[in-house]
Amino acid sequence: PGGGWTTTRPPGSAGVARDPFDGMRQVRDLYDRVLQLHRDLGLVESGPVAEVEVDRDGCEAQGAAEVQSLDKHVAQHQGLHSAMRAVGLELRSSDVLVEVGAGRGRLALGLLQRSSALPAGVVLVERDKARPRNTADAAIADLLADHFPRPSEKRPRRVEAPSPSTSPALLQRLELDVRHLDLGGVSMPGYSPSAGPSSFVVVCKHLCGVGADLAIHMVQRQKHLVRGLCFATCCHHHCQWEDYAGKTWWTESIGMAPADFALAAKCSSWASLRPEPAKDRDLASTRDSKALPSAIALQYAERRFFGRACKSLIDLGRVNGLRMSGFPSACLQRYCESGVTVENTALLAWQQQQQEQEHQEEQELAQELGEQEHQENQELAQEEEEQELEEQQQQQQQQEE
User: For binding to ligand SAM (CB under 6 A), which residues are involved?
Assistant: 100-103, 107, 125-128, 177-178, 205-208, 211, 214
**DSSP run (H or E) holding 347:** strand 345-350
Nearest residue (CB) to ligand SAM, 53 versus 177: 177
CB of 58 to ligand SAM, least distance (A): 19
- Least gap, CB of 354 to ligand SAM (angstroms): 32
Q: Residue 173's closest CA among 78, 100, 69, 255?
A: 100
* Nearer Cβ to ligand SAM (70/283): 70
Q: How far apart are CA 34 and CA 26, in angstroms?
A: 12
Q: Which is nearer to ligand SAM, 178 or 348 (CB)?
A: 178
The strand order across the sheet containing 331-334 reads: 171-175, 121-126, 95-100, 199-208, 226-234, 345-350, 331-334
Residue nearest to ligand SAM (CB): 101
Rounded to an integer, what distance in angstroms lies between the CA atom of residue 330 and that of residue 232? 13
- Quote the CA–CA distance of 216 and 344 in Å, as a whole number: 18
For residues 359 and 38, what is the distance between their CA atoms, to the nearest angstrom?
37
- Per DSSP bridges, beta strands 171-175 and 121-126 are parallel
Complex with ligand SAM: residue 24 or 107, whichever CB lies closer: 107
- Minimum CB–partner distance for residue 218 and ligand SAM (Å): 9
Nearer to ligand SAM, 214 or 298 (CB): 214
Nearest to 91 by CA among 205, 163, 240, 199: 199
In the bound complex, what is the minimum distance in angstroms from residue 274's beta carbon to ligand SAM?
19
What is the smallest separation between the CB atom of 47 and ligand SAM, expressed in angstroms?
32
CB of 320 to ligand SAM, least distance (A): 22
Provide CB contacts within 8 A for 264, sequence distance 6+.
Answer: 30, 34, 256, 310, 313, 314
